[in-house]
């Protein structure tokens, strides 16, 4: 159960950080504020996940590996699917 919660929080943290960076950089003046809020939420989650009393670093790293592994697997699956469609 710890790995599922950690994986979900890592996914939310990474998506908030990356969305915040994109929105803060490319957004208009009103949406840049939202991007900075997303960055703060992502940074807060990153801080929370690395606290020793919250989760151990092993669980955090396992969650990070599981999330990145799932993303890489999905990307490889999409590439194989696109190659199969393009070849036919």
Where do the structural domains in the chain lie, given as residue ranges? 2-87
Residues 35, 19: contact at Cβ < 8 Å?
yes
Give the helix/strand (H/E) hosting 54: none
pTM over 0.85: no
What was the pLDDT predicted at 40? 92
Alpha carbon distance 43, 16 (integer Å): 9
- Average pLDDT (41-46) is 87
- Average pLDDT of the residues of the chain: 81
Alpha carbon distance 4, 51 (integer Å): 18
Residues 32, 24: contact at Cβ < 8 Å?
yes
């Amino acid at each position: 159960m710890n790995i599922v919660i950690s994986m979900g929080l890592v996914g939310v943290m990474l998506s908030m950080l990356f969305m915040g960076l994109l929105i803060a950089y490319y957004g208009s003046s009103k949406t840049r504020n939202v991007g900075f809020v997303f960055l703060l939420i992502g940074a807060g989650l990153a801080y929370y996940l690395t606290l020793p009393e919250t989760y151990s670093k092993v669980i955090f790293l396992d969650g990070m590996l599981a999330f990145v592994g799932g993303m890489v697997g999905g990307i490889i699956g999409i590439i194989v699917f696109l190659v199969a469609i393009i070849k036919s």
